[in-house]
Amino acid sequence: MNSGGYKLSELTKARMKANHKGMLGMHHSEESKAKIRTYRHTDETRRKMSQALQGRTFTEEHKTNLSSSLLGHPVTLEVRQKLSEVSKQNIGEKNPNWKGGASFEPYSPDFTWELKEAIKQRDSYLCRLCSIPEMECLQPHCVHHIDYDKENDNPSNLITLCRICHGYTNGNRQYWQTYLSNYLEENFIKEVKNETK
């Protein structure tokens, strides 16, 4: 058993096991279940949890474990309806990521297929966040505007991302803009140095 990056002693494991024996067969009361169902983290707690997870990458083993834990978990019709209702409440201006309808603005005429292919080629057809190759994905990678300005098609403002990572960049935009700008700047400097050798 591993907890928080350190190994538990055999004595600690035995004590934990003994403490849980008395709980076998016990169930939460209906009042307790109701409290659990209605519990919500405070905004401050959610902010701290979000900050703790930013920029975190999972190991392949962890991703596999997450994926396999969800297999065989069918989502009931009731849960689907609840999720649908929640998503309807976050449409348009009600969504915390709403930017005044910027997603409906057209891209500049210079943002062509050829430009996107050139950026993907520059980035070796890899997502620059998770490093997954485009050919291993069901959908082609996206070319993301780092400063979220659809008119700024400067190659130093464009980066290749897979669909999932591109979705992550829609939240906490200031963080992602800084992170991706720094990432691209550092990697361009390395590439220029390598080319001049």
Does a structural domain hold residue 155?
Answer: yes
DSSP labels, 78-93 = HHHHHHHHHHHHTSGG
Specify the pLDDT at position 65. 81
Does a structural domain hold residue 142?
Answer: yes
Asked whether the predicted pLDDT for residue 4 surpasses 60, the reply is no
Asked whether the predicted pLDDT for residue 192 surpasses 70, the reply is no
Does a structural domain hold residue 152?
Answer: yes
Specify the pLDDT at position 1. 41
Does a structural domain hold residue 129?
Answer: yes
Domain count, the chain: 1
Does a structural domain hold residue 26?
Answer: no
- Taking the model in full, what pTM does it have? 0.49
Does a structural domain hold residue 117?
Answer: yes
Is residue 41 classed exposed, middle or buried when 0-12, 13-18 and 19+ CB atoms within 10 A define those classes?
exposed
Instruction: List the structure tokens of 189.
Output: 């400097």
Mean per-residue pLDDT for 107-129? 91
Q: Give the lowest-confidence range in 64-78, 85-99, 103-117, 142-156.
A: 85-99
Q: Give the lowest-confidence range in 57-71, 84-98, 122-136.
A: 84-98
User: Rounded mean pLDDT of the chain?
Assistant: 79
Specify the pLDDT at position 33. 80
Question: What is the C-alpha separation between 92 and 81, in angstroms, rounded?
Answer: 20
Question: What is the C-alpha separation between 139 and 4, in angstroms, rounded?
Answer: 36
Does a structural domain hold residue 102?
Answer: no
Higher-pLDDT residue of 20 and 138 is 138
Residue 3: pLDDT band by 50, 70, 90 thresholds?
A: very low
Residue 117: pLDDT band by 50, 70, 90 thresholds?
A: very high
Higher-pLDDT residue of 26 and 30 is 30
Q: Tell me which residue range forms the domain holding 129.
A: 108-196
Asked if residue 162 lies in contact with residue 132, where contact means CB atoms within 8 angstroms, the answer is yes
Does a structural domain hold residue 13?
Answer: no
